[in-house]
Structure 1
Amino acid sequence: MAWIYLLAAGLLEIVWAYAMKQSDGFTRVTPTIVTFAALFGSLGLLALAMRSLPLGVAYMLWTGIGAIGAFAVGVIVLGESASAGRLVAAALIAGGLIMMKMTSPT
């Protein structure tokens, strides 16, 4: 169950990052509310996952899911650059996440 909590926490991290961008510096009400709701949900689920997962594993995977997801949303939804270098960097992060999960004792 901890892995499901962690995945959901990472997905909510993507939501709050995107909503924060849409909030225009917290000047738009609805995206600001979504930002904080997703942020608190993400942190709550991360806390639940950390009950049984090691800190380093849980935190690295949470931030990695958020980083790669925010990068993907930036490219796909916001039209940000998807240069070869940026794609390689994202792939390296993904590779690190996979290795962390595969070598985790839990």
Structure 2
Amino acid sequence: MSQSSVEESQKHQKKTLPVWSLTPAEEKELDLRWKEQSSYLCLKFNDDLIKCFNENRALGPFVCRSVQKTLRGCLNQYRTYEFYDKIRDEMIQEKIDTLLNSED
């Protein structure tokens, strides 16, 4: 492992909340949220792809390659560890807020 990747990994670990605070069931929910949110953020490109396939029935796989590539690029933009960590941190914060509110 190179020095820069080790430093990046350490920086990445320092800015995240403790991962152990999520149960296995919550981890599954996190995975679902991650996929749903990235799909939601790329919904426009998905609609464009559906429209392209509907207009070019048999030739869709060939004609719509650029639209597919754009959709794939959008999804890849949000299916990253940084975006995953952001959603995980939101879930952990929700859990902390719920626990604090239940104590009141």
Q: Which TM-score applies when normalising by structure 1? A: 0.33
TM (normalized to structure 2)?
0.34
Kindly name which structure, 1 or 2, has the bigger radius of gyration based on alpha carbons. Answer: 2
